[in-house]
């Protein structure tokens, strides 16, 4: 997608500029007081997220002559959440709403998404490590633990997980409405994936129980075990991702985090 296509679609009176992001497929458009966020080939999942009030309102969807589908959402003034904001009740409540949404789950299933399982995660990690010929002792130690714990982290109740609950993906509008954006990596999986990464990244451990109560359930040994397992696995995946892109600083930080996690395993 480029500005020429958008000018043809919207009209030359609109001011259009890139919204950033890895794909380059997102743009902002502005005309007087009207503001739009435009994206190319968003998933049909976006319509359900909008209807549920989880992302800013979807205004329209249009198919271009070349087959591309352009979506337009309200461009809202607001701010990303800061790390210190992640402990507020509304974050826990919105994540709980997402995990309990039958509409979101049904839509992802209709789109052909298969549930993510602990076994498939371990297999993907092992394939990548073998392909890259990585023989770091810390990876070997982590994989031994992950495989040993597989019988203890099975959980049948799969839900829609965002899988990247970083504070930068939470938007608080000027109207004080909270949204969770950037759903490209959404999966059907154990809710412990989202909960674990959020708690380990942002919430002091002595506040986990209170946060989980605000989410709408109680902390259990099973949840704690699954949270730790997924955080450990996601840390390895993040290291492999950054290493493949020569992000040396992030790779080294990830390795240190992995060592620290292994040091606290039970």
**Which position among 25, 124, 164, 184 bears the catalytic label?**
164
| CA–CA distance, 143 with 5 (Å, rounded to integer) | 48
CA distance linking residue 131 with residue 150, whole number of Å: 23
DSSP string, 49-80: HHHTTSSSPEEEEEE-TTS-EEEEEE---EEE
Q: Largest Cα–Cα distance in the chain?
A: 61
Structure tokens at 19: 């919204």
- Of 174, 127, 160, 163, whose CA–CA distance to 52 is shortest? 160
Beta-carbon contacts of residue 161 (< 8 Å; ≥ 6 apart): 99, 116, 186, 187, 188, 189, 190, 191, 193, 194
Dihedral class, residue 40 (left if φ above 0, else alpha if ψ from -120 to 50, else beta): beta
Distance CA 64, CA 62 (A): 6
- Is the distance from CB of 186 to CB of 99 less than 8 angstroms? no
Looking only at the bridges linking them, the beta strands covering 78-80 and 159-161 are unpaired
- Reply yes or no on whether 164 is catalytic: yes
> Catalytic residues, which ones?
164
């Amino acid at each position: 997608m480029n500005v020429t296509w958008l000018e043809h679609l919207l009209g030359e009176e609109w001011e259009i500029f890139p919204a950033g992001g890895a794909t380059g497929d997102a743009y902002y458009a502005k005309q007087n007081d009207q503001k739009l966020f435009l994206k190319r080939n968003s998933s049909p999942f976006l319509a359900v997220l909008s209807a549920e009030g989880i992302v800013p309102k979807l205004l329209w969807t249009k198919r271009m002559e070349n087959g591309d589908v352009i979506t337009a959402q309200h461009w809202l003034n607001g701010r990303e959440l800061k790390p210190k904001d992640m402990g507020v009740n509304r974050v826990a409540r919105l994540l709980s709403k997402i995990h309990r949404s039958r509409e979101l789950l049904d839509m992802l299933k209709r789109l052909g998404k298969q549930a993510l399982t602990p076994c498939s995660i371990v297999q993907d990690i092992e394939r990548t490590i073998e392909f890259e010929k990585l023989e770091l002792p810390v990876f070997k130690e982590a994989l031994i633990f992950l495989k040993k714990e597989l019988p203890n982290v099975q959980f049948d109740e799969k839900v829609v997980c965002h899988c990247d609950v970083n504070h930068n993906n939470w938007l608080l509008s000027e109207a004080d409405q909270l949204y969770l954006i950037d759903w490209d990596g959404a999966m059907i999986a154990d809710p412990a994936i989202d909960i674990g990464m959020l708690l380990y990244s942002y919430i002091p451990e002595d506040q986990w129980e209170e946060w989980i109560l605000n989410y709408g359930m109680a902390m259990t040994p099973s949840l704690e075990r699954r949270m730790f397992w997924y955080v450990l696995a996601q840390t390895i995946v993040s290291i492999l991702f950054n290493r493949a892109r020569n992000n040396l600083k992030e790779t080294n930080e990830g390795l240190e985090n992995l060592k620290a996690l292994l040091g606290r395993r039970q």
